[in-house]
Amino acid sequence: MYIPKPSKFDPDSFGHFGIFGGRYVPETLMPVLLELDTYYKTLRFDEAFWSEVNAYLKDYVGRPSPLYFAQNLSNQMGAKIYFKREDLNHTGAHKINNTIAQGLIAQKMGKKKVIAETGAGQHGVATATVAALLGLECEIFMGEKDVARQELNVFRMKLLGAKVHAVKSGSRTLKDAMNEAIRYWVTNARDTFYIIGTVAGPHPYPMMVRDFQAIIGYEAKAQILAKENRLPDFVIACIGGGSNAIGVFSHFLEDEAVQCIGIEAGGLGVDTLKHGASLLKGSPGVLHGQMSYLLQDNDGQILEAHSFSAGLDYPGIGPEHAYLKDLGVVQYDNITDQEALDAFVWLSQKEGLIPAFESAHAVAYLKKMPSEKLKNSLIIINLSGRGDKDMIQAKELLSFE
Amino acid sequence: MKTLVAYITAGFPDIAFTKDLALGLADAGADKIELGIPFSDPVADGPVIEVANLKALQAGFKLEQLFDIASHIAPQIDTYWMGYFNSFYHRGFESFAKKAQELGVKGFIVPDMPFEESIQYAKILDQTALSLVSFVAPTDDEARIKRILKNAKDFVYLVAYAGITGSGVSEDLQDILTQIRLQTKTPVFVGFGVDEKTAKQKAQGADGVIVGSAFVKVLLDESLNGTQKIEKITSLARTIKESINS
């Protein structure tokens, strides 16, 4: 049974990963966060709680997700390439691992209502799903621009009984959805549980969400050892806020032989102003309750990110990634919109797997990796989600005659 | 005499206007000015102040303008910089604090900076003689109030309800005021949702009120010219000052 393990990269008791993380929120929310922190401490290593979580993960989500050997891609690239199939989870992505656990915590804490922000809509759908399952009221905040480009997921959320707020301020994407969710939370702090979708936000969320997603790395490690009898050389994942990446990296970070690589959204190119590469191009700052790398101007105003994939279109990143970057434990690189779109087609036609636009960034990195590293290496790519939600957008970007 | 603290968004619509408005408010009886630093993502603020922030940024607001305004008004009225922590942090907290001290600013009001995170800056604040205003929220319990107020300086900012600025919510604050009084002799000012109608009631048991959205709403009124806006805001300030002291 999966139970999180303490990590040498755990934050301190205030939630600091080095200088990053922490709790930068209006005072009204502090008692709520401290209560959650105290409550989560009692659950973190509690067998009864985890057996409940695992029961849902097994029979409702469909875990463990398979580790699939991609024969055709491997032949073409001259490496052994495995995909961790988070795309096969119920609701189509890794997000549900987290919402199951947070939903159960909300229920145990006696909260009747849950809220969530969403970018691509995957976290919104996963939250609405769990709310339906556990009988909780659910409101989702989503940027107006994302509502337009992810209309299928918006419909799914409504079908599941959630109320969807289209956020009209700022860049009308994930950043602004999170602003609005925080405003709602401050206003309804007493009875509302905020299910944050990634390893970001104020402590204890980054640590908690990491614990919930670390089941990906826990399974992947056992699976690769069973299939190959050795650890992988590389573990690759895309990064928006960074939850699928932290999840799959978690059980490999302390293995010297394994190099974890996180892929940020390069958008139209990291030398333009239109990208989401906070680690590469950002600097430390405070947004959404935490200190981390942010895309910002000389006055500390937050800049708009850009990615054609709504899930990576965010100017910040989880604080643990900022910490792992500065420590040099994880390598970070980026992939442009065009490279990701090419990989979206490539994986579809070579392996019959249609990845989410987000996950296509990680797949695309196979073609960007230095060939001396790639050749004959053993690689796990986290296929964090499936591409169904992206069909309408893909249809506009691609034509097959 | 109960205190009136006036919040205005710096640089909206321009710095000359902000200077005139601040000094006009001082004449009208405002005791302290909270000079709001426009920020791209003001999560503690409601739509009125959020829009003013974004408009000021669209009009090209830069921190240099904050310094310019502060240098002009701080000699004439107690001036505080109110903003989100990233604005204070980005150029280095220490150099920002030194700049504030040099310009005669009294202190900082940072709604996304709970006291746990402020501990690391206590030394710099001491050296620059700046007060970091302590926030107390209606969700705080007695133990937390005690911790927060241990080093309270200048005044305590009591948030009037769980929520964002400028909403019409009302909560009974008498219990929490009693608890605050047990911990500190520092004056307590109530902020959030205070306007000419609610001021008297919100000031009950407190030493003053903080008014923001009610003034900024006038700033956003496009049917008024600059002079009319200043007249209307200063007249609101007079009304509120009289009402809390009546």
Q: A245 is written with which tokens?
A: 């990446």
The average pLDDT across B77-105 equals 98
Position A149 pLDDT exceeds 90: no
Q: Looking at residue A169, what is its pLDDT?
A: 86
Q: What is the mean pLDDT of residues B88-93?
A: 96
SS3 B119: helix
Catalytic site includes residue B231: no
The helix (H) or strand (E) run that includes residue A144 is helix A144-149
B78 catalytic? Reply is no
Strands A289-294 and A283-287: antiparallel
Percentage with pLDDT > 70 across chain A: 100
**pLDDT exceeds cutoff 90 at A151:** no
Cβ A27–B163 below 8 Å, yes or no?
no
Angle at alpha carbon of residue A207, lines to A110 and A215, rounded to 5° = 90
For the stretch A68-91, pLDDT in tens is 999 999 999 999 999 999 999 999
**At which residue do the structure tokens 């602003």 appear?**
A179
- Which pLDDT value is given to residue A168? 93
Domains and CATH numbers, chain B: 3-244 (3.20.20.70)
Catalytic position from the list B20, B41, B45, B222:
B45
- Which A-chain residues 144-183 have CB contacts (< 8 A) with chain B? 169-170, 175-176, 179, 182-183
Dist CA B173 CA B158 (whole Å): 9
Separation CA A112–CA A134 (nearest Å): 10
Q: Give residue B170's pLDDT band: very low, low, confident or very high (50, 70, 90).
A: confident
- pLDDT higher than 90, residue A384: yes
Distance, C-alpha A115 to centroid of its chain: 17
Cβ of A30 within 8 Å of Cβ of B137? The answer is yes
Is residue B125's pLDDT more than 90?
A: yes
Distances (CA, A) of A280 to A324, B99, B239: 13, 30, 53
Inform me whether the C-beta atom of residue A187 falls under 8 Å from chain B C-beta atoms: yes
Cβ pair A27:B135 closer than 8 A: yes
Name the DSSP class of A172: S
Whether residue B151 is predicted with pLDDT greater than 90 in this model: the reply is no
Going by their DSSP bridges, the two strands A289-294 and A20-24 should be labelled as: antiparallel
Nearest to A142 by CA among A131, A130, A129, A158: A158
Note whether B117 contacts A14, CB cutoff 8 Å: yes
Q: Which residue of A has its CA nearest to B167?
A: A187
Give the tens place of pLDDT for each residue, A259-272: 999 999 999 999 99
pLDDT at A120 over 90: no
A78 in reach of chain B (CB within 8 A): no
CB B162 within 8 A of CB B136: no
- For residues A24 and A289, the answer to whether their CB atoms sit within 8 Å is yes
**Partners of residue B91 in chain A, C-beta under 8 Å:** 300
Mutation target vs B (from A29, A183, A190, A196; most B CBs, 10 A cutoff):
A183
Q: What is the ipTM of this complex?
A: 0.97
- How much is the average pLDDT of B25-32? 98
Q: Looking at residue A41, what is its pLDDT?
A: 97
Find out whether the peptide bond into A31 is cis, omega within 30 degrees of 0: no
Instruction: pLDDT band for A173, please (50, 70, 90 cuts).
Output: confident
The average pLDDT across A151-160 equals 95
What is the predicted pLDDT for the residue at A381? 98
Contact B164 A186 (CB under 8 A): yes
Q: What residue has token string 């700033």?
A: B219
- Give the pLDDT of residue B233: 98
Nearest to A28 among B50, B139, B167 (CB): B139
Residues 6+ apart with CB under 8 A from B97: B108, B121, B124, B125, B127, B128, B130
Cα distances (angstroms) measured from residue A299 to each of A277, B51, B90, B147: 19, 19, 7, 32
Q: Are A196 and A288 in contact (CB under 8 A)?
A: no
* Mutate: best of B49, B51, B61, B90, partner A, most A CBs <10 A: B90
For chain A, give the percent of residues with pLDDT over 90: 95
Mean pLDDT score, A24-45: 98
CB within 8 Å: B40 and A302: yes
Tokens of B143: 């133990």
**pTM attached to this predicted model:** 0.96
Helix A205-213 with A95-108: angle, nearest 10 deg:
120
pLDDT digits (tens, 9 = 90+) for B177-233: 999 999 999 999 999 999 999 999 999 999 999 999 999 999 999 999 999 999 999
Neighbour count for residue B204 (Cβ, 10 Å): 12
- Mean pLDDT value across residues A157-165: 98
- pLDDT above 90 for A401: no
At residue A202, the pLDDT reads: 98
What's the mean pLDDT in A92-113?
97
Q: How many percent of chain B have pLDDT more than 90?
A: 98
User: Per-residue pLDDT for A63 more than 90?
Assistant: yes
Do the chains contact at B167 and A187, CB–CB below 8 Å? yes
Write down the pLDDT at residue A233.
98
Q: Residue B39: which pLDDT band, with cuts at 50, 70 and 90?
A: very high
Indicate which residues of A carry an active-site annotation: 95, 117, 384
Segment A341-360, tens digit of pLDDT = 999 999 999 999 999 999 99
List pLDDT tens digits, range A130-145.
999 999 999 999 999 9
